[in-house]
Structure 1
Amino acid sequence: MSAADKAAAVDLLAQRLSDKYVFADEGNKMAAAVRDHLRKGDYEKAATDAEFAELLTTHIQAAHPDKHLSIRYFLNAPPDRPRASLSNGIPPEMRQRMTEMGQYLNFAYEKVERLPGNIMYVKFNGFFDADIAKAAATAAMNLAANGNAMIIDLRENRGGDPRMVAHVASYLLGDKKVHLSDIYFRAENETNSFWSDPAVPGPRFGADKPVYVLTSRETFSAAEDFTYNLQVIKRITVIGETTGGGAHPVQPFRINPNLVAVIPVGRSINLITKGDWEGTGVKPDVAVAADKAMTKANALALRQVLPKITHPNERSMLEKKLAELEAAL
């Protein structure tokens, strides 16, 4: 990449940061930082597009840390697209490719399992776009609806669509709509609101039975959205590690034929706390190492369901299982 190409990319990046980054002052601060590095000749040493992208990312993160913010090498990067919104779903040219990928991954749903004590374990590693993945989420949550307790494993969940967050959360709530969160987009001065839907298809687990959500340091973005907002209303017990700390939805912008700036353009707002988990992560109610979180949740769930078990043989078996779990902690 020539010096002129680097200068043009820095200029376009600076413009996008100033115009689009969720916090105007911080966007201007990062824009000034990359322009200053350009003026000092700090980008001359970048021999490849990938090295240049890495250096830009380092400089903007130094100016203002944000885990969603990065510059990425992307050969023949696509042109900019309008930001996805509640009324603007997957671009038609992307729908088929995303659907095929989603089907191959079962839309990130890995397991629905009935554990002793009629405890339902649901593991999924992403919140795929609601336009294509609601059926998979519905099937999983319908299958788990009859459990006496539920464990939802988000330890490897890196996020996704906030509409899917609301859809899944709806199966854990009651007959009244709940205002789960808002996302505010600075550039358009627009707020998107996300509510539970009591009319989701099929049986719901409901609002009264215990739910445990497993987290790790890898739990991120929309997975944190799900965890944070249900934790705030005391619907779930969070077990595991403090999550990654990314609360800012992003939009990609091409700043060079082979470089894309992934810029946070909005921020999540919880209606109760008036804040979010950006930079801090979601703190667990029960802090344990991620690899112990399932064992801890299973033990806590068994303790909750045991008083309802009246058959002597079943109760004896579950008490033995509980003792094994607690001995493993």
Structure 2
Amino acid sequence: MTRLQPAEITGIVAEARRLTTGLYVFPETGERIARVLDEALSQGRYERAGDAETLARLVTEDLQSVNGDGHLRLKFHPDPVPAAKEDGALLAELARGADLSLGGVPRIERLAGGVALLKLAPILFPLDMTGESLNAALALVARAEALILDLRECVGGDPYTSAHVCGHLFDEPTHLHTLYDRQDDSERQFWSPAPLPGPRFGGTKPVYVLISAATFSGGEELAYTLQQRGRAVVIGEVSGGGANPRRGFTLHPHLEATIPVARSVNPVSGGNWEGTGVVPDTGTDPARAHEVAHRAALAEVARLGGDTASAEEARRALGGLARDRPTAGPDARL
């Protein structure tokens, strides 16, 4: 990779500074971060970077040193990124990710007891990119008696896509969250939409959401919204803690500055998950979250289903789990 010249390094850092002070969602914090960059530049911290990947790491460390905002960074891209368009690097990355993940729906499965498992990863792609795949998946799980929504590897996404998913899980239009934008000094409310194409899972059947420390940004927003509205039980470990939506700016063929420009406010909590992550209702090792959620779902289907075929299947599955469960020792629990 071509080495960066000192003048290039100074120009890249200066532009990252300008964007941070001008656009960062919290102006006073942006000024503090800018002073960190100024000091590092004056002390020659970035001169030894040499290449774009190392510079990205060093500048990102300094950008995040004040308040730990995981969305604020100088991001390295191994492949050249578009220069002329805002968020061009993101759009190119999204197109590749959508192709590799079956439109962001890498797994859909019927489990015992009429429970459906729907995995959304690596992000919640824009609807104009993968809406057909998402709608097909949501239509399939609509018939299930309970739903496990796996967001353990969901690291971001479009808020309109998150709202679209929520539209299948609520019976009435529901206020999900509000984005406050610094640059426009404006706010946008996000509601679950109605009507929607195809059948809905609806607002009464049990929903369980799986999260992990890797769950971030748009994945967290979906989990947090469903949790705060009392629509889902969240299972796993505390998520990554990134709630401030970002915009991307190409500063070099391999470098993109990502600047959080807005903040999300939940109408129930009055806050969000920035820095704290989404705290699960049931904490467990993410590797076991699927098992824990399935057991809880089976119990609910058995309790609510009466003498239906799914309820009978759920009872049999629960009986099998009970027989397989150890009766002694430190692991004799789920």
User: TM-score normalized by structure 1?
Assistant: 0.89
Report the Cα offset of residue 120 of structure 1: 1.1
CA distance in 2, matches of 1:314, 1:50: 53
Report the Cα offset of residue 190 of structure 1: 2.4
Residue 34 of structure 2 corresponds to: 31
CA distance in 1, matches of 2:261, 2:208: 31
Contact 2:302/2:312 (<8 A) preserved: no
Residue 161 of structure 1 corresponds to: 158
Contact 2:117/2:149 (<8 A) preserved: yes
Equivalent position amino acid for 2:280 in 1: P
CA distance in 2, matches of 1:70, 1:315: 47
Structure 2 counterpart SS, 1:46: coil
Question: Would you say how many aligned residue pairs link Structure 1 and Structure 2?
Answer: 320
Q: Deviations over 1:29-79 (max 9, x none)?
A: 111111111112222222222222211111222233111121123465433
Residue 106 of structure 1 corresponds to: 102
CA distance in 2, matches of 1:316, 1:68: 45
Structure 1 counterpart SS, 2:179: strand
CA distance in 2, matches of 1:34, 1:191: 30
Give yes or no for the alignment of 1:69 onto 2:61: no
CA distance in 2, matches of 1:270, 1:140: 27
CA distance in 2, matches of 1:77, 1:214: 33
Contact 2:298/2:314 (<8 A) preserved: no
Moved more, 102-111 or 138-147: 102-111
Pairing of 1:139-150 with structure 2 (within 5 A): 139-150=136-147
Give yes or no for the alignment of 1:43 onto 2:40: no
Residue 205 of structure 1 corresponds to: 201
Contact 1:303/1:322 (<8 A) preserved: no
Equivalent position amino acid for 2:82 in 1: P
Moved more, 302-311 or 265-274: 302-311
CA distance in 2, matches of 1:99, 1:73: 18
Report the Cα offset of residue 316 of structure 1: 5.6
Contact 1:20/1:186 (<8 A) preserved: yes
Q: Deviations over 1:178-228 (max 9, x none)?
A: 111112221121222211113111111111111000111111111110010
CA distance in 1, matches of 2:69, 2:229: 26
Mind listing any 5+ residue stretches in structure 1 that lack a counterpart? 84-89
Give yes or no for the alignment of 1:223 onto 2:219: yes
Moved more, 260-269 or 228-237: 260-269
Give yes or no for the alignment of 1:79 onto 2:83: yes
Structure 1 counterpart SS, 2:264: strand
Residue 322 of structure 2 corresponds to: 323
With over 3 angstroms needed to count, the CA separation of the structure-2 counterparts of 1:315 and 1:305, relative to structure 1, is closer
User: TM-score normalized by structure 2?
Assistant: 0.88
CA distance in 2, matches of 1:69, 1:231: 26
CA distance in 2, matches of 1:325, 1:31: 58
What is the identity percentage for the equivalent residue pairs of Structure 1 and Structure 2? 34
With over 3 angstroms needed to count, the CA separation of the structure-2 counterparts of 1:313 and 1:273, relative to structure 1, is closer
RMSD: 2.5
Mind listing any 5+ residue stretches in structure 2 that lack a counterpart? 327-332
Residue 275 of structure 2 corresponds to: 279
Pairing of 1:288-303 with structure 2 (within 5 A): 288-303=284-299
With over 3 angstroms needed to count, the CA separation of the structure-2 counterparts of 1:100 and 1:26, relative to structure 1, is closer
Report the Cα offset of residue 136 of structure 1: 1.2
Contact 1:14/1:34 (<8 A) preserved: yes
With over 3 angstroms needed to count, the CA separation of the structure-2 counterparts of 1:306 and 1:159, relative to structure 1, is same
